[in-house]
Amino acid sequence: MIEYRNLRIALLGAGSVGSQVARLLLEQGDELASRVGAGLELIGIAVRDVDAPRDADLPKHLFTTDARTLIQSADVVIELMGGIEPAREYILLAINSGADVVTGNKALLATHGPELFDAAEQVGAQLYYEAAAGGAIPIIRPLRDSLAGDRVRRVMGIVNGTTNFILDRMDTEGDTLEAALATATALGYAEADPTADIEGYDAAQKAAILASLAFHTAVPVEAVHREGITGITAAQVEAAQRTGYVVKLLAICERLTDPATGVEGVVVRVHPALISRLHPLAAVHGAKNAVFVQAEAAGDLMFYGAGAGGLETASAVLGDLVSAARRHVAGGPGVGESTHANLPVLSIGSVTTRYQITLTVTDKPGVLAQVAGLFSEHGVSVEAVQQTVASAVPGLTAGAAQHGDDRSSIVQLTATLVIVTHEAPEAALAATVAAVSSNDAVVRVEAVLRVEGDTP
């Protein structure tokens, strides 16, 4: 048997994931070598500050600040430094120096993916990125390889652990969003600046990556419709509970035909939504992630696990390293970016969905009929209406205020209406909400949330 020479592995970055990757590579190198058919030699770790504290005790001699020289001596480069530059420049240098690349850099892939995949294809190099979406959860490889013979219709995932932790606290503990965010920060789930998580940017980057793979179509992150969780209130979470739902921040990637134009395309969106408490995604608690895939032949599949964490994410990185190293040993081309379908990326207006609309209305004869009339005028069919006990509040209706009335001393009886629609085009639902909010009988629109998944 011909013995293959040791493969030289360069690591860029030694943060929480990088230091665990280095530790495991050093500790389990022999076992990995037998899986690959060649030794894996960690030749260096490029960092900004060689003396910075690390999560793992790693040999000092491996550290360097000269990333370029390290990259040029490697067979496989593992990029775990994050950010756009210099990560992009280093990955291009690695590809052009004949190395394969493993990265967990979702921001870079979501913004510069096509450039990096093109560069890799030019020279026959490979780019592996299992850690870029869903942390430890194997989801990239299943979408790329296991389901390569199937047609994926929909990918619906909880791909941000911080927001899932916050929404889960609101659901299980009755916390406000602010209190849940403070707990997430104290426990180290949320960053000091939580914007990327709570405004849905992190989830949108992962959604762009998953959609591109699932539909063989380049989906730029700018084409992802994004809404964060900052508008979610404790009252909305409680109302969801009462109606058999739970609020989750969902990343939804779907292949559909626009009902108005007949164009088949892909829509990718990230927004809070109600899902039935019976849906498998409702059982995803704390900071866990899960991705629910619906494929034409395979049916429904669910991938669940840790979406972040140094050790957990290191597992995904090392799996990619073994794949990259095996290909180096076996030779031949690997799998490139698959964008052969190149479907149009449509806006959220093409989606057909259901809404749950919670309204405070004046409690007097004809109001229900008036509100129902607005739904019917916009071609939206109502599935269920729930009215709760009236209460007396001072002040104007939203519609009356808009029309310039000044009856601020009026005390009125109000009721809460929770209306769930059947599936309707997003545009018709948005127009219905606009009409409802300017109606005289409507005091306030308390919440408008899309409903996804099965009815309870």
Catalytic residues: 206
Distance of alpha carbon 249 from alpha carbon 165, whole angstroms: 10
Q: What is the pattern of x (binds ligand HSE, CB under 6 A) and - over residues 198-217?
A: ----x---------------
Contact 238, 416 (CB under 8 A): no
Question: Is residue 130 part of the contact set for ligand HSE (CB under 6 A)?
Answer: no
The amino acid at 423: E
Question: Is residue 307 part of the contact set for ligand HSE (CB under 6 A)?
Answer: yes
Contact 435, 374 (CB under 8 A): yes
Task: Determine the distance from the C-alpha atom of residue 225 to the mean position of all C-alpha atoms in its chain, rounded to a whole number.
Answer: 12
Going by C-alpha positions, the residue among 236, 232, 220, 214 that lies closest to residue 142 is 214
Task: Determine the distance from the C-alpha atom of residue 92 to the mean position of all C-alpha atoms in its chain, rounded to a whole number.
Answer: 26
Stretch that binds ligand HSE, among 18-26, 117-125, 156-164, 294-302 (CB under 6 A): 156-164
Stretch that binds ligand HSE, among 74-82, 158-166, 172-180, 354-362 (CB under 6 A): 158-166
Give the one residue of 44, 161, 200, 265 binding ligand HSE; rule: CB under 6 A. Answer: 161
Nearer to ligand HSE, 130 or 202 (CB): 202
Distance of alpha carbon 309 from alpha carbon 297, whole angstroms: 33
Least Å distance, CB 188 to ligand HSE, is 10
Nearer to ligand HSE, 75 or 197 (CB): 197
Name the DSSP letter for residue 49.
-
Q: Which two tokens stand for residue 121?
A: 């294809």
Question: Is residue 356 part of the contact set for ligand HSE (CB under 6 A)?
Answer: no
Question: Helix 16-27 and helix 29-36: axis angle, to 10°?
Answer: 80
Question: Is residue 308 part of the contact set for ligand HSE (CB under 6 A)?
Answer: yes
Least Å distance, CB 288 to ligand HSE, is 10
- Which secondary structure element, helix H or strand E, spans residue 436, and what is its range? helix 426-437
Question: Is residue 350 part of the contact set for ligand HSE (CB under 6 A)?
Answer: no
Give the one residue of 75, 171, 197, 320 binding ligand HSE; rule: CB under 6 A. Answer: 197
Question: Is residue 162 part of the contact set for ligand HSE (CB under 6 A)?
Answer: yes
Q: Which two tokens stand for residue 441?
A: 């009988």
Least Å distance, CB 30 to ligand HSE, is 31
Distance of alpha carbon 355 from alpha carbon 366, whole angstroms: 23
Question: Is residue 160 part of the contact set for ligand HSE (CB under 6 A)?
Answer: yes
CA distances to 63, 311, 312 from 19, rounded to whole Å, are 11, 9, 12
Nearer to ligand HSE, 80 or 419 (CB): 80
Least Å distance, CB 359 to ligand HSE, is 33
Least Å distance, CB 130 to ligand HSE, is 13
Distance of alpha carbon 295 from alpha carbon 281, whole angstroms: 17
Sign of CA dihedral 43, 48, 49, 54: negative
Stretch that binds ligand HSE, among 34-42, 155-163, 348-356, 424-432 (CB under 6 A): 155-163
Give the binding site for ligand HSE (CB under 6 A): 160-162, 197, 202, 307-308
